[in-house]
Structure 1
Amino acid sequence: MFCIESDVNWKPSIAALLSVGLLTACTQETPDRGGGQREARALPVQAVEVHPRDLSRVVTISNSVEPLRTIRLAARTEGVLTEVLVEEGDTVAEDQILARIDVREQQAELARARARLHERQATFDRFEQLRERNYVDLASYESARAELEVAATEVELWETRVEFGTVTSSIDGTVVSRYIEPGEAISRHAALFSIADLSSLVVRLGVSELDVGNLRVGDAVVVNVDAVGDRNPLSGVIRRIFPAAEIESRLITVEVGLPEALGAGVRPGFLARARLLVEQRANVLAVPAGSVAESDGEFFVMVVNGDDRLERRVIEPGVIRGAWREILSGLGEGDRVVSANPLEMTAGERVRVVDLMS
């Protein structure tokens, strides 16, 4: 209760006293409805609930689809092509005739060799009869037999050269390239055809030496080929991992088989993008990378406890994958962690979660 004496100017005094009373009221906590004091307002925060996540690392590598096996047929003799019986796209079987080369000269040599063989055979037969009667010495007999053997090998030689005039496929497959036309003169070892086994398609990928160590033959691979549209994705499997890296690029070739490719309409030369799982980290606890702070050599996060107060929790962090960081220890599934700026917060501070991400 304020006392105001009658001999002073009371109007200014009342105004001053009212100002002091208002200032005092502003510095005191406002009583709550129950007669107690209301606590300081809670700090609004965004939090994330800790759950297992897949932080596996996947790399995407592109390359062209290739047949598993492609051979280049070359001419085994020189001459002029008299016939070319197949073209690109034709399916061929093993030992099927693809082209013929003019070998009339070789055929003439073969006829001469056969005649010489007939002559040497007759000579040897006569020497053999004489030898049985001891009319010729052993040296003459052996000489006749040697000449017979030489004549026989001459026949075999020219038969082989005549056979070289017929070009046949060495595998079942499809002609993917034809390099010749009828009437052309070709040299020995000149390329004639490329034949591919389209029943087995692969994509060969250059993988970093840092990533290839976690890959294994038989691992599943997801492959997308733009050319086949909605038939994607295609399943692949690692067939083999090459034993050495390329000298210039330091990349190691990983061959991925595409068992579904042919049925999906994939052809050699189509561009394929393969997703390789180079590091498996499935079902690991993780928090936003920005929620982890370091102080005095310790990593920690701010956890919202059951009383809606902040708790400083020391953790052991793992790898970072994009926006997430693996937690090796210190947190459990279901914990609520402040998602950002832990260094700006104080343990024990009362908070209000305005956005809880799961």
Structure 2
Amino acid sequence: MKKIYLLLILSMAYNVIANPQFTIDESHQILVSEYTGKIRTLNEQVVAAKAEGFVEQIPNIGDKVLNNQSLYKQENKLLKSELIQKNKLIAAQEAVEKLYQKQYERMKSLNERQLGAQNDIERMEVDLINAQLALTQLRSEQIILEQKVNSLSSISSVTGTVIQRYVQPGQYVSRGESLYQLVDMDRWILEIPVRASLTRALPIGTPIKIKLDTTSDWIDMRVIGVETQTVSNTLVNIRLLSNETLQKGLLFDGLQVFGSYKIELRNMYVLPASSIVKRQDGHYVRLGQDESSQEGQQMTKIKVVSEIGHRKIVQGDTLRLNSKLFTFPTLGE
């Protein structure tokens, strides 16, 4: 009878060591879970018209606008006609100013040789000054018109994607009217709820892979913040920053999204029911469901369902997995 009992114990120990239900010697574990989250954009801009006029060119929804690229172009024939006419007046006035300058220099030279009258020199000087003043005025008006014409187009100072368009080509718009909305797809934030017990395994900078309901590929992100207030008794929001450009789909601030996240938990473990774990003294025990969990603390209490290779632990005892009994921490189930 003793031999049979001994063989039974050895057989159980062999099965545990050869085929453990929970691999305790791994340095990490991959956790995949679904989520319902919210997008927060970092760079979002509503492009508005700088002047009234007809919209000649405007990007389409989904178009990417690069830095220093034209944002839009308006048409205002009356304004451009005024600028053309002003340029002609300036050219004519420049010719008048040059003519008066030559006449003044000639009269001044004759006077030095006592061949001209002083009154003629003074009259020519007044004509030259008036011509110069008129030219200065025309050039000032030209600058103002050029600024108005240049305001019919605009150059982007950021890189972004058009997510909404408020007007169509050929439409007349007033000064300050919204044309379209631009969002930077390279840098954006995703807020998702996770179990509060996970947060101690997610320090700032932790990489996380994310899938959105609009994409099929995993997106690389990293943890940039953990909220102190819990969403529920067991959930807390974390903030993730994108590490790459979103290639498909459109984002806007406050957009609710669904998907999955994948986390590599280094030196942290999620223990399912009936897991077999090894204590520091080398003995194995089989665990049951969580009895209680103290969120945010390095401790989780789990019931012992059965003992393997150790007779001093009574079935049903509650153990602290983060105490000296075990060689690793846990996140609980």
Q: TM-score, normalised by structure 1?
A: 0.47
Q: TM-score, normalised by structure 2?
A: 0.50
